[in-house]
Structure 1
Amino acid sequence: MDRDTKALVDEGPLSTIRTRHLFTIQLDVRPVVTVGSTPNGFRRVGFVTGGEIVGERIRGKVLNEANDWQVKRPDGSLTLDVRLVIETDRGMLVTMTYRGVRHGPADVIDRLKRGEIVDPASYYFRIAPTFEAADADLAWLNGILAIGTGHRFPQGPIYNVFEVL
């Protein structure tokens, strides 16, 4: 790698990722349904019954009956594949799809399963959402990537979602 390229990668605009808070989303969920061991891992399906989204540029509610297709992998981590619909406070619909992963020390994950509140810094819970919006005022969502950090409460997860700039 030449000196100019190395400087660009090591010290320039490619050396960091900037983000901006997009919204906080809280999901209400029913208990997961266990499908069982499949060729892809131990399959569970979660059902989202609602929720709330609060941000400077977008706010609204999560519509009922979204799904979270989870796989518990042999290493104990949980992968998420979620599809939901947001209705903004102006009545516009936005789809949000995200994949994620949650893992941590076995004792922390066991406490989460029992519904105990744990320190969110004690385990890893991250998502990568994408969006689809038909409304012209929300079309900017179609062209962004986002990342989020989550925490699991007994009634459902909460995520802080950030636009990657």
Structure 2
Amino acid sequence: MLTIRALFCNFVCLLFSGLALAQTTPQSPGLTFLYSLNCTLGSALSVGAGPNGNRVVIPITGGSFKGPRLSGKVLPIGADWGLLDSQNIFSADTRYQLQTDDNAHIFISTSGPAQGDGRIHLRIKFETGSTKYYWLNNVIAVGILTSGNGYVAIDAWQLTSPPKA
């Protein structure tokens, strides 16, 4: 026979499990536009197979970027050290340098896989010592890369928290 305590515990467990099921999905974070970037590329160099796939190095030769809070040029320093995996999916792995219109330097690294539509979804990380752009060091950013003949275009957004309830 169940004791009153056991019945009460069963009732409380059922009550709380029902509440857990009734909870709503959390509110999604937002995205704030950072910039659009157009970058020129040099000739790709296939360096061959390694433990993670075929490495392809693509030099970054210049370009420009423009957004509401920062704009400037892409310096001809850096490359994409991407990988082509066993399923023939390319994953970007870039490091390159931006110079803003007011001469601040921002180091960028990106990574991310190609999608079925030919675009690449990027995780973007910024690094700068500039006081004006220091906020970028703490940004979680994503980008969508579209490639062309000798160039890539990247639209970048900052992840923003949803409003507090």
The answer to whether structure 1 residue 19 and structure 2 residue 14 are counterparts is no
The answer to whether structure 1 residue 141 and structure 2 residue 141 are counterparts is no
- Rg larger for: 2
DSSP 3-state at the match of 1:157:
strand
State the distance in 2 between where 1:56 and 1:79 align: 29
> What is the CA distance between 1:4 and its match in structure 2?
6.6
Give the corresponding residue for 1:130. 125
Q: CA RMSD in A?
A: 1.8
8 Å CA contact 1:60–1:87 kept in 2: the answer is: yes
The answer to whether structure 1 residue 39 and structure 2 residue 55 are counterparts is no
- Which consecutive unaligned segments of at least 5 residues does structure 1 have? 105-121
Give aligned pairs, total.
144
Give the corresponding residue for 1:94. 106
State the distance in 2 between where 1:85 and 1:29 align: 14
8 Å CA contact 1:127–1:147 kept in 2: the answer is: yes
> What is the CA distance between 1:25 and its match in structure 2?
0.8
8 Å CA contact 1:76–1:103 kept in 2: the answer is: no
Give the corresponding residue for 2:151. 156
Return structure 1 stretches of 4+ with deviation > 6 angstroms.
none
DSSP 3-state at the match of 1:154:
coil
What percentage of residue pairs aligned between the two structures are identical?
Answer: 22
Return the TM-score normalized by structure 2. 0.81
